[in-house]
Amino acid sequence: CSEPRSRYIRRNFTESSALLTRTHINYGVKGDVAVIRIKSSTSKVNTLSKELHSEFMEVMNEVWATNQIRNAVLISSKPGRFIAGADINMLATCKTPQEVTQVSQEAQRTFEKLEKAAKPVIAAISGSCLGGGLELAISCQYRIATKDGKTILGAPEVLLGILPGAGGTQRLPEMVGVPAVFDMMLTSRNIHADSAKKMGLVDQLVEPLGLGIKPPEEWTIEYLEAVAITFAKGLADKKISPKRDQGLVEKLTAYTMTIPFVRQQVYKKVEEKVQKETKGLYPAPLKIIDVVKTGIERGSDAGYLSESQKFGSLAMISESKALMGLYHGQVLCKKNKFGAPQKDVKRLAILGEGLKGAGITQVSVDKRLKTILKDATLTRLGHGQQQVFKGLNYKVNKKALTSFERDSIFSNLTGNVLKVDMVIEAVFEDLSLKHRVLKEVEAVIPDHCVFASNTSAFPISEIAAVSKRPEKVIGMHYFSPMDKMQLASAVAVSLKQGKVIIVVMDGPGFYTTRCLAPMMSEVIRILQEGVDLEKLDSLTTSFGFPVGAATLVDEVGVDVAKHMAEDLRKALGERFGGGNPELLTQMVSKGFLGRKSGKGFYIYQESVKSKNLNSDVDSILVSLKMPPKSEVSPGEDIQFRLVTRFVNEAVMCLREGILATPAEGDIAAVFGLGFPPCFGGPFCFVALYGPQKIVDRLKKYEAAYGKQFTPC
Amino acid sequence: MTLVSGWLLYGWIIAVQTKTKKTLAKPNIRNVVVVDGVRTPFLLSGTSYKDLMPHDLARAALTGLLHRTSVPKEVVDYIIFGTVIQEVKTSNVAREAALGAGFSDKTPAHTVTMACISANQAMTTGVGLIASGQCDVIVAGGVELMSDVPIRHSRKMRKLMLDLNKAKSMGQRLSLISKFRFNFLAPELPAVSEFSTSETMGHSADRLAAAFAVSRLEQDEYALRSHSLAKKAQDEGLLSDVVPFKVPGKDTVTKDNGIRPSSLEQMAKLKPAFIKPYGTVTAANSSFLTDGASAMLIMAEEKALAMGYKPKAYLRDFMYVSQDPKDQLLLGPTYATPKVLEKAGLTMNDIDAFEFHEAFSGQILANFKAMDSDWFAENYMGRKTKVGLPPLEKFNNWGGSLSLGHPFGATGCRLVMAAANRLQKEGGQYGLVAACAAGGQGHAMIVEAYPK
């Protein structure tokens, strides 16, 4: 062949680059296209900070003023990361809602200028394009995204208790339609590149490249840039239209949304749904609906104004502060604080099928760890394997995996080889059983192998008492459902199962069980006082817990709750008293073990969604009945009796050093135990509600009930 | 000990210094030779072969081989054919074709499949049988008929039909029929995409070309080269492996009909076929769907000589490789080439005729760039230096799959015969055959000219 030539403009033009070196943005000119590359040198991800914003304005002004430039491409030089969102610290420095509103209005103005500029800008997206990053991208005239797993678009503001404050609430409805925009902003779901294309959020997809003449990630970005430049030229020459062809369904939806009556119905439906799901505890979703509505019904000027104002007011209230605190905590807990492990865990054995065993297995094979699942009988092992398969197959049905990937992941679940680096034991909470398993396993595992016991109650030192090498025995506690919940608290582990990890000191009940147990004890007491089960559940959910208190006992397992209560009361005394454990004992003896046995406080049937009360529990409750205290109200006080016991114990754990930081305590409580996220966790709750007021409440209950309420 | 290795080293130095070409015969292993090989003309699908069945085409290649070599049918020990998309009625197409071609019904036959290197697998299976002393005379070949492919009923419809077959009473039958839905009638086409990745090969080739920065122009230029060289070879009568085929009810087909040298301007007008609208792989720079069959007579050297044959070439070292089917689907030649050269103790410079399978221009050029890249060799092949480029003047000089056509199951034999015939015609001792295949697999083989 002739000498290699390239169709990419890259080689044919020498790149002139601006002399100024900036911290976040550099740009060069290729022919008549300005390539604006975002690469914050101060952090791992690109975030829209004040500095980035001002550098961006500087660059854009230059681009607009240079005659030679006809259009521009906006791209990130960080593989797998476009712009992860706005810098939330920027909000933390604001003192008043007005200041926040100003921040929002400034961004609105920049993006409007960008949108209306005569020189088209193409956003070339590879990696996470979230929040403010998405708002920037949709202000551009055209969007090209790489079609890979890392490229996700989304508006996650609602998770932080705020709303998209840089024009997102106004531009998005026009792009994707009203129903889709509510789905995006209210569920904050991540949208992958190909569905973004279908929705109209991006205009063109670029295939990711595999190995070639450079590392694939880097090369894919250069390829994306080259393709974006050809599109930029096409746009400037009017060969490509930024308008998208809509499908029939889309056109129909768009048409029906022009009918005011239909729109009103949609708003109403969405509001009702939000009201039901948030129980009025989270103001952001309703504000989002309101702002979108304002823009559509009263024009974009009113919409933008409303967006910036509501953004300002939301950023200042306690819910958003709590949620942002959780966000920070989560980032913290995903960091490895212990350095690189001596030996990487490559092969893992899991003992005990059960719900936990299979769940741990699933998250392990998913991360390509060679995993051995073992159980006492073939049938139970089969159950475990089936559960792992079911979990993976669910992803296939959701199109998150191909059936081929499922099979290849499932093949990480292997047979009976005990050359493992780590054993996770998830057998029933019975000390003698755990001892027997530990001894049997230690006889065959290699010296470096770590033995992790999955326990929520026993101190690890007690389990390790029979070990030949107690220094290799640790505790791990996962929260179910394993594959969905984010938290695994562990007494020191470096597993890469992709979990949020909190590390706690050894002690009876560790942290989470210790906080849960007093609350559960109070649940029993409340039930003994004759409070209706359903009322108790609705009181707890309306306080912000994801499941009702009685339902929680069923979910955890009545037998597990009984063990927990007995062991902790033995170890830690009166603080764990209150309710009569006899209730749980009698329920266990009748086989009411909760969801897993089909009966607990409620009756659970496969295929039946609604729960019915288990009337057989009534007779037990009647026999244990206690009179309610007149000085304590049956409404709000019930909520506070539960939550103050939880919080009191959490503070105790911090004081005793079980917990290293309050942030970890908050994260564990919210993601592991379902502590209301709107309060940001027990420690955040204390700060928001006021320590003195909590102590006052505790004292009041102490006077009525006794020492279990003594404030620490 | 030291004396012996010293002598060996000395011998090696002399060999290198004087460039005396050794033969690749191995002690205690029988030499395997190609007596001759033929193929039917390769035709665009849907043309003159469209009413045939695969075994008809394979039979044409087999009878062509019988005419060309006059081999007595009863000396053939075994017949092996490669095919990719199987006609379900003749799943062992080797046997059906052999019976029809008048081979002895005492000669066993089997069919192999390994995507585009199926015929390669048929040949190397034969090499193994001869080298291990199990057989003396083998016929290896391949066939593909893309004019007709098995289109099935949907799984649901098949299940319904099978259940109906088993139903005993009218009631059972009626209840089964009541389960019928119209969407059951949607047909199921043979998969065009990789099963493991769901990506079509053209799509993967386009990404591969981009990954190696192969431009559209380069691809079009390479395709044009292939067509021009094929045309020249055809006109000069160099494609001597082609045997005429009298198609029942139609005229005798005498030559390949996919060779169409065009101009770069014409080719530049085509839109990308797989990655739209900015991809670079088009219909003009890809191989086309082809019908065709090939067959070769392979023997142990002493048997061939005893029968009075003058063989064309030796089949020497060969190598199969496989890699990730997603991003390295078509890089087989890059991986297989250095390995087979090392195994045979040869270097790129020793090769006089290269015959690489051309699935796509972009694939050939991406392989070139990979072979020419130190970075790629270090990072993905575990080599210190690059493989090196095959010199273009020795590369696919009589056209390739892009122009001659690519009947999946039959191409391997065409490559080997092209290498053998080129060595005979152009002179030179060694030929290198290499091909990529679906599933991320690849093959390479050294063909050594039989001394004149």
With respect to residue A16, please indicate whether it lies within any of the assigned structural domains. Answer: no
Chain B: residue whose CA lies nearest to A401: B197
| Residues A526 and A495 occupy one common structural domain | no
pLDDT, average across residues A337-353: 73
pLDDT number for residue B436:
97
| Residues A292 and A405 occupy one common structural domain | no
Strand order in the sheet with A16-17: A16-17, A25-30, A33-38, A71-76, A121-125, A142-146, A204-206
pLDDT, average across residues A206-219: 92
d(CA B295, CA B278): 41
Taking CB atoms and an 8 Å cutoff, what residues of chain B touch A214? 375
Please give the domain boundaries of chain B with CATH numbers for all domains.
32-149+286-449 (3.40.47.10)
Which tokens is A147 given? 């079609």
User: Of the residues A481, A502, A523, which one is the last residue of a structural domain?
Assistant: A502
Instruction: Work out the pLDDT band at A489, boundaries 50, 70, 90.
Output: very low
Inter-residue contact B435 to B116 (CB < 8 Å): yes
With respect to residue A673, please indicate whether it lies within any of the assigned structural domains. Answer: yes
| Residues A206 and A77 occupy one common structural domain | yes
Q: Check pLDDT > 80 for residue A335.
A: no
Taking CB atoms and an 8 Å cutoff, what residues of chain A touch B387? none
A213 with B208: Cβ contact below 8 A: no
Taking CB atoms and an 8 Å cutoff, what residues of chain A touch B276? none
pLDDT, average across residues A271-278: 90
pLDDT number for residue A508:
74
Which tokens is B50 given? 């469209």
pLDDT by residue (tens digit) across A532-546? 888 999 999 999 998
Strands A422-425 and A450-454: parallel
Active centre residues of A (catalytic): 135, 157
| Residues A585 and A690 occupy one common structural domain | yes
CB atoms within 10 A of CB A277: 12
Inter-residue contact B239 to B256 (CB < 8 Å): yes
Domain containing residue A112: CATH number? 3.90.226.10
| Whole-complex ipTM | 0.88
Dmax over CA atoms of chain A, in Å, equals 96
Instruction: Work out the pLDDT band at B283, boundaries 50, 70, 90.
Output: very high
B211 with A5: Cβ contact below 8 A: no
Q: Check pLDDT > 70 for residue B370.
A: yes
E-assigned strand segments in B40-77: 43-44
Which tokens is B245 given? 């085929």
From the list B222, B380, B392, which residue is nearest A211 (CB)?
B380
pLDDT number for residue B21:
63
A508 vs B384: which has the higher pLDDT: B384
With respect to residue A690, please indicate whether it lies within any of the assigned structural domains. Answer: yes
| Residues A415 and A549 occupy one common structural domain | no
In chain A, the number of structural domains is: 3
With respect to residue A610, please indicate whether it lies within any of the assigned structural domains. Answer: yes
From the list B198, B280, B327, which residue is nearest A211 (CB)?
B327
Taking CB atoms and an 8 Å cutoff, what residues of chain B touch A3? none
pLDDT, average across residues A395-409: 87
Whole-prediction pTM: 0.86
From the list B222, B275, B327, which residue is nearest A1 (CB)?
B222
pLDDT number for residue B347:
96
Chain A closest CA to B315's CA: distance in Å?
Answer: 30
With respect to residue A322, please indicate whether it lies within any of the assigned structural domains. Answer: no
Chain A closest CA to B432's CA: distance in Å?
Answer: 20
From the list A5, A209, A404, which residue is nearest B215 (CB)?
A5
Instruction: Work out the pLDDT band at B297, boundaries 50, 70, 90.
Output: very high
- B328–A contact, CB cutoff 8 A: yes
pLDDT, average across residues A451-477: 82
pLDDT number for residue B389:
96
What percent of chain B shows pLDDT beyond 70?
95
| Residues A179 and A156 occupy one common structural domain | yes
pLDDT by residue (tens digit) across A228-251? 999 999 888 888 887 777 778 888
User: Of the residues A473, A502, A531, which one is the last residue of a structural domain?
Assistant: A502
Q: Three-class SS of residue B322? A: strand
How many A/B residue pairs have CB atoms within 8 Å? 77
A212 with B196: Cβ contact below 8 A: no
With respect to residue A660, please indicate whether it lies within any of the assigned structural domains. Answer: yes
Chain A closest CA to B223's CA: distance in Å?
Answer: 10
Q: What is the mean pLDDT of chain B?
A: 93
Print the domain residue range for A529.
511-709
Q: Check pLDDT > 60 for residue A492.
A: no
| Residues A270 and A356 occupy one common structural domain | no
Which tokens is A648 given? 């009191």
Active centre residues of B (catalytic): 116, 406, 436
Taking CB atoms and an 8 Å cutoff, what residues of chain A touch B278? 206, 227, 230-231
Give the residue among B319, B332, B202 at the shortest CA–CA distance from B270. Answer: B202
Chain B: residue whose CA lies nearest to A11: B213
d(CA B233, CA B226): 11
| Residues A458 and A578 occupy one common structural domain | no
Instruction: Work out the pLDDT band at A418, boundaries 50, 70, 90.
Output: low
With respect to residue A588, please indicate whether it lies within any of the assigned structural domains. Answer: yes
Q: Check pLDDT > 50 for residue B19.
A: no
Enumerate residues 6+ apart whose C-beta is below 8 A from A561.
A520, A553, A584
pLDDT by residue (tens digit) across A296-326? 999 999 999 999 999 999 999 989 989 998 8
pLDDT by residue (tens digit) across A504-524? 777 777 888 888 889 988 999
From the list B275, B326, B376, which residue is nearest A213 (CB)?
B376
- B379–A contact, CB cutoff 8 A: yes
A210 with B196: Cβ contact below 8 A: no
Q: Check pLDDT > 70 for residue A34.
A: yes
pLDDT by residue (tens digit) across B140-161? 999 999 999 999 999 999 999 9
A210 with B207: Cβ contact below 8 A: yes
Q: Check pLDDT > 60 for residue A487.
A: no
Q: Check pLDDT > 80 for residue B94.
A: yes
With respect to residue A19, please indicate whether it lies within any of the assigned structural domains. Answer: no
B195 with A212: Cβ contact below 8 A: no
| Residues A695 and A660 occupy one common structural domain | yes
Which tokens is A7 given? 């169709």
Domain containing residue A564: CATH number? 1.10.1040.50
| Residues A65 and A107 occupy one common structural domain | yes
What is each CA distance from A465 to A56, A430, A433, in whole angstroms?
Answer: 62, 14, 13
**Which residues of A make CB contacts under 8 Å with B?**
1-2, 4-8, 206-214, 216, 219, 223, 227, 230-231, 402, 404
Q: Check pLDDT > 50 for residue A119.
A: yes
User: Of the residues A485, A502, A519, which one is the last residue of a structural domain?
Assistant: A502
pLDDT number for residue A336:
63
| Residues A352 and A469 occupy one common structural domain | yes
Q: Check pLDDT > 50 for residue A598.
A: yes
Which tokens is A330 given? 């989560």
Chain B closest CA to A172's CA: distance in Å?
Answer: 26
| Residues A430 and A518 occupy one common structural domain | no
Domain containing residue A477: CATH number? 3.40.50.720
pLDDT by residue (tens digit) across B245-280? 999 999 999 999 999 999 999 999 999 999 989 999
From the list A1, A4, A211, which residue is nearest B392 (CB)?
A1
